Structures are given as C-alpha cells and as structure tokens.
Amino acid sequence: MGAGIQRHGRVAGRIRDRRVGPRLLELLDHQEPRVRQTAWQGLQTLLRGLFPYRRFRFEDSGYAPEAASRQAGIAALRAWWDAATAVR
C-alpha cells in the first residue's frame, strides 16, 4: 500500500495543480517514512512550479520527514499554503 501512495505523491507534485497541495500536506504525516519523504519532495516540486517567482527556504519550515514531531512544521506549511492559495 505504501508504494502506491508513494507513487501518488511523486506524480502529484509534478502535476502543478493546486488541488493536489492539500493531499501532499496530508501525506507529510503518513506512517511510512518513504511516503513522507516522497510527499515532501512532491510538495517542494509543486510549490516551485506553482509559484516560480518565490524563493522557498524549505529548511525554514520546521518540517523534516524523519522527525518524530512533525506537527509544527506541517502546521506552518498548511498556514502558508492556505494564505498563498486563498481566493482574493
């Protein structure tokens, strides 16, 4: 099951569609480390594709796929995503 989800995260990041962002954010807290890593890479690809004019410092998000406590980093990324994709 993890391999399918991992593949989903890899493909989703390349789509450059705002609709996949929330799913990738969910996968950042998946039980399998490989899935989290793939979602993290996919999210970075997605953000760079959707917002090419922004310089992201992903290391400043506080998220690390291998960290036992990932919630603060995920919350920061969700807050940024919500602000960046809000309909104005």
* Residue-level pLDDT at 8: 53
Measured CA distances, 8 to 4, 54, 72 (Å):
6, 25, 24
Cα separation, 60 vs 6, in Å, equals 24
User: Each residue's pLDDT tens digit in the chain (88 positions)?
Assistant: 455 555 555 555 566 788 899 999 999 999 999 999 999 999 999 999 999 888 888 989 999 999 988 999 999 999 999 998 887 6
Q: What is the pTM of this model?
A: 0.81
71 residue type, one letter? Q
* Residue-level pLDDT at 66: 92
Where are the chain's structural domains? 2-85
* Residue-level pLDDT at 87: 75
* Residue-level pLDDT at 16: 72
* Residue-level pLDDT at 56: 86
